[in-house]
Structure 1
Amino acid sequence: MLTPELLHALRNLPLAAKQAAEGFLAGQHLSRRRGAGMEFSQYRPYQPGDDLRRLDWRLAARSDRYYIRESEVDTSLTVHLLLDASASMNHRDDNGLTKLEYGRLLLAALAYLAQNQGDAVSLSILHPEGLVHLPARADARQLPRLYQALQNTTGMGRFPEAAQLAPLLARRQRALTVCVSDLYEEQGEINSLLTRLRTVAGDVLLLHLMAGNELTFSYRGAVTFEDLETGQTLQLNAEDQRRHYQEQLQQWLRTTAHTARRQGLDYFQLSTAEPLDGALREFLRRRQATSFH
């Protein structure tokens, strides 16, 4: 299991994505369903109306019974990847990674996984200077495009305004949307976007990214905190505030998860201190469920 800091240390996003995804899959293909594909799965008795081209004549000659060969075929769908690139994603964990760097690694690995499953993949990077959007494609050149866009991404400003996000909400075919964000927002703008995407495009997997030092409050002594989006600062003593901070944080996390799930989003919390595997597993679980809708 490769740690996120080891993947980041490769300084090669395509290689890191491949290492993370293939290390996780370990040769397994998790998105298959029975059908008339190429890879044999099992037999079942012939029923009137079945395609006679799938009938196993050799087995019929031996058993005097007619059986249909069921095969496995790859399922595929459209996967929309969204990355929150507001300035709060520049927060750095004790392992040296920012949330944005972790998010880039994660979405690159998810893009690799999705294309490996035969899916069409798109990418939208959300920051105040304008929406960076790569339309969904399933061709071999899509991954390099996505990697390049992710590598060029820097965190800045606040989450974009609704008018800038309008192109994401154009009515589209059913898809699986995956959003990586720390959910630091002023007026519920991230939640509003994802709820509307749930309405127009189907399933939404929200990967709520927190830094390890945010979750554990690993600071010591007198600390000055700065809001990366507003520039406001706050001075405090870490030991005096630790208990109150952790109580408030856990309450916020519970409320955030409850709100997301109540509005039909699939919510999963992850930490920049943890390997990518939990999020990759959640993606494949949600992808498989979406494929069978």
Structure 2
Amino acid sequence: MSLLTPELLHSLHNLPLAARKAAEGFLAGHHQSRRQGAGLEFSQYRPYQPGDDLRRLDWRLAARSDRYYLRESEVDTSLTVHLLLDASASMNHRDDNGLTKLDYGRLLLAALAYLAQQQGDAVSLSILHPGGLVHLPARPDARQLPRIYQALQNTTGAGRFPEAALLAPLLVRRQRALTVCLSDLYEEEAEIQTLLARLRAVSGEVLLLHLLAGNELNFTYQGSVTLQDLESGQTVQLNAEAQRAGYQQQLREWLRTTAHAARRQGFDYHQLSTAEPLDAALREFLRRRQAASG
């Protein structure tokens, strides 16, 4: 299990540092455990081997991690990566570890942006909330990461998922790209998956990261509790023990239906929990990225 838990990364109160630590910790652990003939190939980042050209060594990473990696430089493996963050009010739900889904989302997308830039990709960020679309167009320059970190740090969750008219700028025909959307998929009329289907039509691959809090997945509440819908404000009082079995059955059915619908539309669907390290999502991103650039 990764020592870099999401709550530890969040406690750094420094998003650029947390993103770098998450990404480099994942890479170090992956290369350390990789076996011959199996595992994920990281197309522009590989361990140093005797005889390699030292001019291609990433000395800064070596100084930070005491591990030696070479940067590959094939231009044709570069890609445009579009990061989308659902910033509706339901993302303010807080897990037992103290993190909201939005906290986790900021950490994960910051780490993905860092990984993508290390791959030589042009990265964009779109933050989706009802107040309007925050969009940073894809740029390959070194100043893009600080722009993305700043936008993520300034993000707050509010309201419902934005109306289609606000999202129109995202659907301008693009070059081939990998779109990564992080959302809890709380929607009224499939508006999130409708947007992603349109993005897939104009851009190509879509990786859908479905994020839920650990206490949502496991229903860890005890006794008499009052639960609130963060988007509508409606509340319900219930006895946790009496409702647990029915809740978990309905949740399992919703997750099955949601995953099936996403995959039927051609998305690469992956479920995440705020109680788990970022590693699974980073692994899925690199796997999907390798397929998209191939």
* Same fold per superposition (TM over 0.5): yes
- SS of the aligned residue for 2:74 comes to strand
CA distance in 2, matches of 1:78, 1:205: 13
Residues 134 and 146 of structure 1 are in contact (CA less than 8 Å); yes or no, is this contact kept in structure 2?
A: yes
CA deviations over 1:163-218 (Å, ceiling 9, x no partner) = 00000001010100000000000011001000111111000000000000000000
Q: Which residue of 1 aligns with 2:74?
A: 73
1:155 matched residue in structure 2: 157
Q: Distance in 2 between matches of 1:144 and 1:9?
A: 19
Distance across 2 between alignment mates of 1:227 and 1:13: 28
Question: What displacement does 1:73 show?
Answer: 2.4
Match of 1:281 in 2: 283
Maintained 8 Å contact 1:130/1:164: yes
Distance of 1:264 and 1:32 partners within structure 2? 27
Distance 2:44 2:101 in 1: 33
Partner of 1:211: 213
Residue 93 of structure 2 is matched in structure 1 by 91
Aligned counterpart in structure 2 of residue 25 of structure 1, from 27, 39, 51? 27
Question: Does 2:113 correspond to 1:101?
Answer: no
For 1:9, the equivalent position in structure 2 comes to 11
| 8 A contact 1:14–1:147 mirrored in 2 | yes
Distance 2:121 2:205 in 1: 15
Asked whether the equivalents of residues 78 and 136 of structure 1 are also in contact (C-alpha less than 8 Å), the reply is: yes
Aligned partner of 1:207: which letter?
A: L
Distance across 2 between alignment mates of 1:163 and 1:254: 30
Look up the equivalent residue of 1:160 and give its one-letter code: P
- Tell me the distance in 2 between the aligned counterparts of 1:206 and 1:225: 27
Query: 1:198 aligned to 193, 197, 200, which one?
Result: 200
Paired residue type of 2:161: F
Decide which structure has the larger Cα Rg and report it. 1
1:252-285 superposed Cα distances (whole Å, 9 cap, x missing partner): 0000000000000000000000000000000000
- Identity rate of aligned residues, in percent? 78
The alpha-carbon distance between structure 1 residues 85 and 72, as it changes in their structure 2 partners (threshold 3 A), is closer
Q: Return the alpha-carbon distance in structure 1 between the equivalents of residues 73 and 84 of structure 2.
A: 31
CA distance in structure 1 between the aligned counterparts of 2:290 and 2:27, rounded to whole angstroms: 14
Contact kept in structure 2, 1:40 and 1:72, CA below 8 Å = no
How many residues are aligned here? 258
TM-score by length of 1: 0.86
Flag the 1:141–1:234 CA change in 2: closer, same or farther, 3 A. Answer: same
Q: In structure 1, how many angstroms separate the alpha carbons of the residues matched to 2:90 and 2:129?
A: 11
Distance between the aligned counterparts of 2:195 and 2:52, measured in 1?
43
CA shift, 1:72, in A, is: 7.0
Q: Is the 8 A contact 1:114 1:121 kept in 2?
A: yes
Q: Give the corresponding residue for 1:137.
A: 139
TM-score with structure 2 setting the length: 0.85
Query: Is there any run of 5+ residues in structure 2 with no aligned partner, and where?
Result: 32-40, 46-50, 54-71
User: Could you tell me whether the CA contact under 8 Å between 2:44 and 2:119 is conserved in 1?
Assistant: no
**Partner Cα separation in structure 2 for residue 172 and residue 73 of structure 1:** 22
Moved over 2 A (4+): 71-74
Aligned to 1:170: 172
Q: Identify unmatched segments of 5+ residues in structure 1.
A: 34-38, 42-70
